[in-house]
Amino acid sequence: MEIGPGEGALTEHLLATGAQVTAVELDRGLAEGLRQRFGGSERFELIESDVLDVDLSELIGEGEAFVVGNLPYYITSPIVRRVLPLGDRVSAASFLIQREVAERITACKGSRDYGYLSALCRLWSEPKLLFKVKAGSFRPPPRVESAVVGLRLRKGAEVPAGLIRFLEAAFKQPRKTLGNNLAALYDRDLLAGMEERGLRAQQIDVEELAELWRRLERLRVIESEATTP
């Protein structure tokens, strides 16, 4: 599955491998050019739509897909978040994106780039920055540097909605401690006994953050049961 094939430079190479290629392109003029160029191939399917309006899981069907794309920089994060939960339908993804976003996606704890997007990507996949791309490789050259990032998705990965809300709150204000950021979700008395309350989310690995969330949820249930008549 190719997101934003444009004029079909990558599409041509994908078809040359013998792959079945489903391309999602929003621009009407580019879509017409793709039809003229690849419409004769039985292995090419074009979906003329905004990728954020497409049900990717339904489009893939019963098979398994590899998702690629030169993503529009301004909607990189929403597209990545749409792909991440599809580990049972998508084996891996490879995107050409803005270098700064690629560094955020692949960042680990302790890095200034480590944040909410980094945590989400590590919960659902194994992210890796593959290589950087110079501005001169584009026509016209952009004002930012680019990079290709790879995401090997985890099959059967289950990320509860509550954990996502927890991570969003934990990373909301990077300079604040977990004790302050999580006050929007938990009572101060509950957070007072948390050993990590004086740390920032950037200092904690995503697996440890997930375990902290489970611990706080258990304590909240215990506290609720204790106060229920």
As a 3-state breakdown, the chain gives helix, strand, coil percent values, each rounded to 5, of 50, 20, 35
Exposure pattern of 113-147 as b/e (b: 16+ CB <10 Å)?
Answer: bbbbbbbbbbbbbebeeeeebeeeeeeeeeeeebb
Q: State the span(s) of the chain assigned CATH 3.40.50.150.
A: 2-153
Tokens of 62: 């019963």
Q: Is residue 206 left, alpha or beta, with left meaning phi > 0 and alpha meaning psi from -120 to 50?
A: alpha
CATH fold of 161-227: Helicase, Ruva Protein; domain 3 (1.10.8)
The pLDDT of residue 229 is 63
Q: State the span(s) of the chain assigned CATH 1.10.8.100.
A: 161-227
pLDDT one-digit tens code per residue, 70-96: 998 889 999 999 999 999 999 999 999
CB contact at 8 A, 149 and 94: yes
Q: Per CATH, the architecture of 2-153 is what?
A: 3-Layer(aba) Sandwich (3.40)
Q: Against a cut of 0.75, is the pTM above it?
A: yes
pLDDT one-digit tens code per residue, 139-171: 888 888 999 999 999 998 889 999 999 999 999
Q: Which residues of the chain have pLDDT under 70?
A: 228-229
